[in-house]
Structure 1
Amino acid sequence: MTKQWQPLTDYQWAAISPFFNLQRKRQHDLRQILDVILWLLRTGCQWRNLPQEWPNWQAVYYYFEQWSHNGTFERINLALNQLDRKRVDKEAFPSVLCIDSQSIKLNPMIGEHRGTDANKRVNGRKRQLVVDTQGRLWVVAVHPANQADGPAAVSLISNLLWRAGERLEKVYGDQSYNGVFAKALADWSIDFEKASRPESAQGFIPVAKRWVVERSIAWTNYFRRIAKDYEYTLLSSVSWLYLANIQLMLQRSQPN
């Protein structure tokens, strides 16, 4: 993980440029637009406070909205995950995934899709993150924090099947998913295994399968834009999370 924002290298841009229509004549360079978006992700700057030497914030926001709605960020994320798995001699699609949630505070000025997680005492939203055994983000959803983990995660199953393919055999999660979510997975012949510390254990006990997704959640702290939820729409919140994983995968893929 680099400590500061850096513009895309030629190698990194070559890896993701096929996902953009570069044949059209445009007023703005798409590579620069994406650089600005990733800068926003790292620094947490407001749209309207973009430095003047960069394109107008409305132009950058236009492309961010377009790529969010047409699934460009999701497709890039999926492709980079597959490339990174192949880089370490793994199959392109995972057979095991891990799921966990993170309750995050929401900007006080935003009232949409807000709720209170009574257990964690967080007034805001909840993120459902599904990662593979090395922490790559495959599926993510955002919803009000007062919704229970298991029932809210059921809506992710179709995305899991689409992104992980036929190789998916098992999903690890904590007790909160060992209900309707586990039953819904069973309908697709996917096993659910509860990953939690032994009931007799006292104090902090790291659990291997949960530690992976907890580490992925911790990685979000490197990106100020997602350290707290500042988005009016859930789609924007999801897009920033995919972008964070995209940034991580691009850094890994960069040759030494």
Structure 2
Amino acid sequence: METSLARGLMSNEEWAFFERFILAARAPNGRKPADHRLVLDGIFWIARTGAPWRNLPEEFGKWSSVYRQFQRWTLVGLWGELMDALNQSAAVPDALQMIDSTVIRAHHQAAGAKRGTPRQGFGRSRGGFTTKVHLLVNAHGLPMRAEITPGQTSDHLGFDLLMADNLPRPSVLLADRGYDADSIRTKMEARNVLPVIPTRKSRKTRIAVDRSLYRLRNLLERCFNKLKNARRVATRYDKTAESFLGFIDITSIRHLST
């Protein structure tokens, strides 16, 4: 247990940043946890190891208490607020952004949530029972926003989910040929954004692509690789879309804050 506690805990600088958001998210009439920092470290431990909640080491507190706190913070949108704040504080130029998706295999125990599997972001693709994660990253390859859809969903829908009006508008957007659609190019041109997207083989009119600029998209692939080092992201164990997306955001937060 000493090894698991010593590895991956928050630094004092990280906690100083997180604390003000966590205190603001606490219900005014709710009972104050014994240690917010320990609870958050416990959530980070679950995300990194992929362990079931019941296997949470006792040093982090009672597993059911940590789980309930995770649910509260997820439902009030704490993780999204932290993502936005970290992106704003990083002062990374917004001129270049990248978008892509990856398919995550869902564990069979993740099925069975209320409202049906499609509403919870489950579907069927070549990988079987899957969820698709759509990700937008900045010029440094750091996550800006994530959304999930059923595994068979087109990247076009993920594009509409990610490119929200409240995010910084890029000057250049990099994407693979899965996003080569007239509707996407029209939307980007309307926003004065240059789409750097290779054309599909079926497109009659070829569109030139700056290959030296397009090579930067490997930063996005590296970002996916780092996020999947968290086992709770690499495999979906969560029944609800909110919980799984919460773990994606939590892993992104650690990536942004370290």
Q: Same fold (TM over 0.5)?
A: yes
Query: Within 1, Cα distance between the matches of 2:125 and 2:17?
Result: 39
What's 1:137 paired with?
A: 143
1:220 Cα offset (Å): 1.9
Question: Do 2:104 and 2:131's aligned partners in 1 also have CA atoms closer than 8 Å?
Answer: yes
> What letter corresponds to residue 235 of structure 2 in structure 1?
K
Cα deviations by residue, 1:213-234 (Å, 9 ceiling, x for unpaired)? 1111111232111111111112
- Give the equivalent residue in structure 2 for 1:153: 159
- Relative distance call for 1:244 and 1:49 in structure 2 (3 A) is same
Residue segments in structure 1 that go unaligned for 5+ positions in a row: 200-205, 252-256
Correspondence for 1:245 among 242, 249, 252: 252
Q: Which residue of 2 aligns with 1:66?
A: 72
CA contact (8 A) 1:196 1:210 kept: no
Residues 71-124 of structure 1: CA distance to partner in whole angstroms, max 9, x if unpaired? 21111122222333x3xxx44xx1221011101100112332322224xx4431
Alpha-carbon distance between aligned partners in 2 of 1:67 and 1:217, rounded to the nearest angstrom: 24
- 2:170 equivalent in structure 1: 168
Residue 230 of structure 2 corresponds to residue 212 of structure 1: no
**DSSP 3-state at the match of 1:246:** helix
Q: Secondary structure at the match of 2:60?
A: coil
Once residues 59 and 182 of structure 1 are traced to their aligned partners in structure 2, the CA distance between those partners, rounded to angstroms, is 47
Aligned identity (percent) is 23
* Pair 1:139–1:196, CA change in 2 (3 A): farther
**Cα displacement string for residues 139-191 of structure 1 (whole angstroms, at most 9, x for unaligned residues):** 11111111111133212222xx3122xx4222111111121333333343333
3-state secondary structure, aligned to 1:21: helix
Q: Which residue does 2:209 correspond to in 1?
A: none
SS at 2:163's partner residue? helix
Aligned residue number for residue 190 of structure 1: 193
- Tell me if 1:223 matches 2:230: yes
2:8 matched residue in structure 1 = 6
Change (3 A) 1:196 1:214: farther
What count of residue pairs does the alignment treat as equivalent?
Answer: 232
CA distance in structure 1 between the aligned counterparts of 2:257 and 2:50, rounded to whole angstroms: 20
Q: TM-score, normalised by structure 1?
A: 0.80
Q: Structure 1 51/140 Cα, relative in aligned 2: closer, same or farther at 3 Å?
A: same
Distance 1:193 1:249, change over 3 A: same
AA matched with 2:220: V
- Select 1:115's aligned residue among 104, 119, 123: 123
Question: Which residue type is aligned with residue 88 of structure 2?
Answer: Q
| SS in structure 1 at match of 2:48 | helix
In the TM superposition, what is the alpha-carbon distance from 1:195 to its structure 2 partner? 4.9
Q: Name the counterpart of 2:133.
A: 127
**2:167 maps to amino acid:** R
SS of equivalent residue, structure 2 residue 132: strand
Q: Give the distance between the partners of 2:7 and 2:228, measured in 1 at CA.
A: 14
Cα RMSD (Å): 2.8
CA separation in 1, counterparts of 2:74 and 2:214?
34
